[in-house]
Amino acid sequence: MRSLADLANDLATGRTTSQALTEAALARIDDPAGEGERAFIKVYHKAALDSGKASDIARGNGVVPSPLAGIPVSIKDLCDVAGEVTMAGSIVRHDAAPAVQDAPVLARLRAAGAIIMGRTNMVEFAMGTPGTNAHYGTPKNPWDRATGRIPGGSTSGGAVSVSDGMAAVALGTDTAGSVRVPSALCGLAGFKPTARRVSAQGIFPLARSLDSVGPLAPTVACCALVDAIFAGQVPPALRPRPLQGLRLAVPKHLVLDDMDEIVAGAFQAALSKLSAAGALVTEIDFAALARLPAINRIGGFSTAEAYALHRETLARAGDQYDPNVAGRIQMGDAWTAADYLDLIDIQADMIAAANAVTAPYDAILMPTSPVVACAIADVAESAAWLEAGRLLLRNNIVANFLDRCALTVPCHDQGAAPVGLMLMGESMGDRGLLEIGAAVEACISPPLA
């Protein structure tokens, strides 16, 4: 993997061309020994090559619309592309109407000059965090490929497209960790913005109350650049905050439970490095977090809102769904209108309580996932798939439920099993969190391979 800044510099100085970058990415996608067949559902071979050539011509004439110009990008399969049916990792939508226009986030990528490589595989309808797909196969995690480990989901193909050099950055979505979980398990940085900052129009929804659109990328600076483009902003220079005196809090409740030895060791080592660099790391009482499992016992907003969207299709063609996905969506049938209204009130109360607890701190720290990636074979049974998903999303859903921004950065040793450290910021505190994340990354993350 290489950072967007390095790639942009090579393009600017003539050390490479967009056509060369695109051809290299396509070669990795098409490699029969690689994961391209499982990482991508659709590849834009000709369009990508044509775009790369056009980008080089434009650059030669002094037209460089953004630092992302000429660089390969992948998009999750739930993103509308004009003239194409948005399948969302499923087969049930084969007879749906094609999208009439690109999703705004895709239109902004195109306007920035990005080379769109293709649509990446995902958990069907984004309903699941292990990263498996019964219809299109499951891309293997870059770590311990011989075993065949889960990539994390639901943006599974997006993560593998970046880790394997099939794209420099990926467009993902995050409803309960679908950007951050695969980023953490695959050794990437991943950013979940405050949801309202980035338009989700033209993105096939999972739960409208929680859905957000964010990047998976090699570094925090890469995430910051692409996030700005997603939000329709001019990408500003990212200036890392000084670690000295930075106030970082670690909740005592829920988020440290059930850590495996690898995650616990990497997490503690990261905290020690940050403390040695002058950050003020403090354990805090955040008792409200302990309520989340009970609040989300039947899937929270995700199952309620997904069931409302899918109930007619499930009745008509439920046998075409992955049984694990259909089972989770069907949980929404247990919701009543009163339950849903109660959840809205509970969320508002928890947001207010959380704001009071975290106000004195610059960021909240926790493991992104309490466990490293398990073998794909270990989640073949529905009960194991559901339990793995519950554990993987548990810490991540905190930021979605509290309407906040969150970032994961790698904190493992080079060559070891990937582990992510999550930083959670305040609602609309995205730029500040990215600045903090860049400093934390420089302190704890392994160098790019």
Catalytic residues: 76, 154, 178
Report the Cα–Cα distance between both ends of the chain, in Å, rounded: 6
Distance CA 156, CA 363 (A): 27
Go through the chain and tell me how many residues it has: 449
Cα 168-86-24 angle, rounded to 5 deg: 25
Write the DSSP string, 58-90: HHHTT---STTTT-EEEEETTB--TTS---TT-
Residue 396 in tokens: 């991540």
Is 86 in contact with 99 (CB distance < 8 Å)? yes
Residue 362 in tokens: 């610059």
Tell whether the torsion through CA atoms of 294, 298, 301 and 302 is positive or negative. Answer: positive
For residue 406, which amino acid is it? Answer: A
Count how many Cα atoms sit within 13 Å of the Cα of residue 128 in the half-sphere of its side chain: 34
Q: List the one residue out of 312, 390, 295 whose CA is nearest residue 348.
A: 295
